[in-house]
């Protein structure tokens, strides 16, 4: 079974003899949240976009309240409102500056990372890193991580649209289940899953062994 590297999507069917392991990213491999940090950082550098964002906040709040916290379009609307009017070349430079800023503040959870590295020692094991943060940001933040080229990544997707950026896929909640099924097929048979969030419960449901990562990076057995 091949790896899904950054920038590629491979639709695979897993050999039943292979072990499938799931790791969340934000709050699991490290303490901070990449995407929310990016949103606040961008807003600080695009203060004029506040005049566009503020009138949209009631719509965003209503969307999340009515359709649920994992709904894509309200967060996509926030992203669009703070990137509208900025050329893509400028936004790419902003990404580079944000990643440098974020990496200086990143707090890794060493016990969880060591658990991931332990799985990668086995040739019959595939580790899936599935996250709600956008793929381009994750790839930049973890570009120097020794394990990153060896895991398979599923992440949210940003795209240029309507004069700014939008989320074309938000990889949270049930969407994580759908995205993994697209790649490895049914039935999902995951040996172990690690996450800090209840939003990952739909995917953890398919894990034989479920582990919750605490705010301090400790690993707790959920069973």
pTM: 0.91
Judged against a pLDDT cut of 80, whether residue 77 lies above it is answered with yes
pLDDT at 12 over 80: no
Q: How confident is the model at residue 17 (pLDDT cuts 50, 70, 90)?
A: confident
User: What's the CATH number for 19-221?
Assistant: 3.40.50
Average pLDDT, integer, range 149-158: 97
Average per-residue pLDDT in the chain?
93
Please state the domain extents for the chain. Answer: 19-221
Rounded CA-CA distance 128/77 in Å is: 28
pLDDT beyond 50 at 7:
no
Dihedral angle over CA of 141, 142, 145, 151, nearest 10: 170
Distance of alpha carbon 126 from alpha carbon 3, whole angstroms = 8
> Does residue 89 carry a pLDDT above 60?
yes
């Amino acid at each position: 079974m091949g790896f899904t590297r950054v920038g590629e999507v491979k639709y695979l069917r897993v050999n039943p003899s292979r072990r499938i392991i799931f790791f969340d990213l934000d709050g699991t491999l490290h303490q901070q949240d990449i995407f929310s940090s990016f949103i606040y950082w961008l807003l600080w550098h695009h203060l004029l976009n506040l005049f566009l964002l503020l009138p949209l906040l009631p719509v965003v709040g209503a969307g999340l309240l009515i359709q649920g916290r994992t709904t894509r379009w309200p967060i996509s609307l926030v992203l669009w409102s703070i990137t509208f009017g900025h050329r893509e070349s400028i936004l790419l430079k902003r990404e580079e500056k944000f990643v440098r800023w974020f990496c200086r503040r990143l707090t890794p959870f060493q016990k969880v990372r060591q658990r991931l590295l332990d799985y990668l020692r086995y040739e019959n094991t595939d580790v899936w890193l599935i996250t709600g943060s956008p793929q381009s940001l994750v790839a930049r933040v973890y570009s120097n991580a020794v394990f990153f080229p060896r895991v398979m990544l599923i992440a949210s997707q940003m795209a240029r649209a309507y004069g700014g950026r939008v989320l074309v896929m938000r990889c949270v909640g049930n969407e994580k289940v759908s995205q993994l099924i697209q790649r490895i097929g049914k039935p999902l048979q995951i040996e172990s899953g690690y996450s800090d969030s209840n939003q990952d419960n739909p995917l953890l449901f398919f894990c034989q062994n479920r582990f919750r990562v605490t705010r301090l990076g400790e690993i707790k057995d959920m069973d």
